Structure 1
Amino acid sequence: MKVLVPVKRVVDYNVKVRVKSDGSGVDIANVKMSMNPFDEIAVEEATRLREKGAVTEVIAVSCGVLQCQETLRTAMAIGADRAILVETSEELQPLAVAKLLKALVDKEQPQLVILGKQAIDDDCNQTGQMLAALLGWPQATFASKVEVEGGVAKVTREVDGGSETLSLTLPAIITTDLRLNEPRYVTLPNIMKAKKKQLDNFKPEDLGVDVAPRIKTLKVSEPPKRSAGIKVADVAALVDKLKNEAKVI
């Protein structure tokens, strides 16, 4: 059984992002980039399923600029068997990514697609759901536990007030949450082995997909800075300010 694992190249979560002076977007020049943490969890989970014998092949996929090859090499160092890059310099929005992934699913015929629930750069949380809709496959989002056996995936997911367990008939889509697992440390020998693994390169036009942006970003701005706090003499003064100045009571 094949598993497809999409991974995204994003600004590293330890980096403080800065908005461009013209407000057109986030400045990523000379900024450390890495794999989206939720996607890293997805690669780890797919690798564990292969180690258990439930999966035979793990294929990592990324869509974006040529530098995404570095992200794919990291995925292969974690445990992916091979990788596919859909190279484009266009701004990719969730629907375009979902269409590209659908084309790759039609090509590779995996039984399972595992991807992060969201990317930490745009926090859209849309690609997995859109892909499931385009394919007409069952989906389980925010997975905290995954078991695959006999053509069925049992997924425990977090919901308001607790958790629920879903049973999905494969093929299916699963999106991962933080509690699913802790990705393994990538060792140097595995990094060296990843350099020899197969990495195929496609263009969107090779897959027959139009990735032109449908949404236009008008302006990006930093959140307003918090004003300094003030001291009050007593409770009466605090209540007065909350009521007359802050108007919260």
Structure 2
Amino acid sequence: MRLVVCLKAVPASTEVAMDPVTHTIVRDGGDAVWNPYDTAALEVALRLKDEARAAGQEGWVGVVSMGIPATASLLEDALSRGADEALLLSDRAFAGSDTIATCYALTLGIGRLCAEPDLILCGKMAVDGDTAQIGPMLAAALRLPVVTGATTVERHGAAVDVEQVFDGARRRLCMHGPGVVTVDKDAATLRMPSIEGVLAARRTSVPVATAADLGADLDRCGLAGSPTQVVSCFVPERASDAVAIEGTPAEQAATLAYLMGEVLA
């Protein structure tokens, strides 16, 4: 079973800077971590790999990420935890990519990493963007079926059973053939790296692919290929005023009704 996991580096802090010209997050590599939804997807892939190998079958996990050169160190961490190969897409031409341009670059990267993956996994969403668009867009671009928000992913022969929460209800779906699954962050907790894995990862040089290496159309990359932009970003102001309502339950109810009326008036 050949699995590809898409990983995204996100700021470790809630204090982020926005470029005043491009209106994109400034990514300088400082205090970056993997998106927690993506780490759940990676652990799901590693478990499927372990199960395949335990059954005497092929099990392989490749990880791909698009980001600045410093992202390579995070990919080494993924290798230390059990991923077999990694690929970093890094080029100034990719800077400022929205989800459309990001999806385009990732499809090229996935094709370079693994020509015919059995399953592509990514986090349900990224904590710095909250769009939840990349997984479905990858599926559409590659003409593959997609299941979103998976809480469990189990392999049964050539099929994959996926459980998801949809409209407040749990349901199970069966996917046959290659497909894309986006994973909820509570689906799995990423394992710790082994000593052997850490040493092996340190001896590995993560390959870096530029737009030219991928044969990418520059008109579809970065800001040039991004029809959407974030025009502003701000932290909402929150009031901390509170009113303590005292009295009997009837008096409290009457006071609450009055206050709600004042708010809605």
TM-score > 0.5 by shorter chain: yes
Of the three residues 71, 74, 78, the one matched with 1:75 is: 78
- Alignment of 1:221 with 2:234, yes or no, is yes
More helix by share: 2
Give the residue type in structure 1 aligned to 2:160.
A
TM superposition score normalised by structure 2: 0.83
Give the partner amino acid of 2:70: Q
Q: Judge conservation of contact 1:82–1:197 (CA < 8 Å) in 2.
A: no
Aligned to 2:32: 33
Structure 1, residues 139-167: CA drift from partner, whole Å, max 9, x if none? 11111111223321111111123211111
Q: Is the 8 A contact 1:19 1:220 kept in 2?
A: no
Q: Pick which of 140-149 and 122-131 moved more.
A: 140-149
What is the Cα deviation at residue 70 of structure 1?
Answer: 1.6
| Stretch moving more, 51-60 or 73-82 | 51-60
Classify 1:168/1:103 alpha carbon distance in 2 versus 1 (closer, same or farther; 3 Å). same
Q: Could you list the per-position Cα deviations for residues 24-52 of structure 1 after superposition, in whole angstroms to 9, with x for gaps in the alignment?
A: 56566685210111111111111111111
The structure where strand makes up a greater share of residues is: 1
How far apart, CA to CA, are the structure 2 residues paired with 1:176 and 1:129?
12
Worse-matched range after superposition: 126-135 or 205-214: 205-214
2:154 pairs with 1:147: yes
State the AA in 1 paired with 2:66.
C
Aligned alpha-carbon RMSD (Å): 2.5
- 2:46 is matched by which residue type in structure 1? T
TM-score by length of 1: 0.87
Contact 1:102/1:131 (8 A) holds in 2: yes
- Structure 2 unpaired stretches of 5+: none
1:190: which partner in 2?
A: 197
CA contact (8 A) 1:19 1:222 kept: no
Write out per-residue CA displacement over residues 113-170 of structure 1, whole angstroms, 9 at most, x where no aligned residue. 0111111101110000000001110111111111223321111111123211111122
Query: Which residues of 2 match residues 27-176 of structure 1 at below 5 A?
Result: 31-53=30-52, 55-89=58-92, 90-107=95-112, 108-109=114-115, 110-176=117-183
Name the CA distance, whole Å, in 2 between partners of 1:168 and 1:186: 30
Matching of residue 240 in structure 1 with residue 258 in structure 2: yes
Amino acid at match of 1:50: K
Aligned counterpart, 1:10: 10
Does residue 230 of the first structure (1) align with residue 229 of the second (2)? no
Q: Percent identity?
A: 24
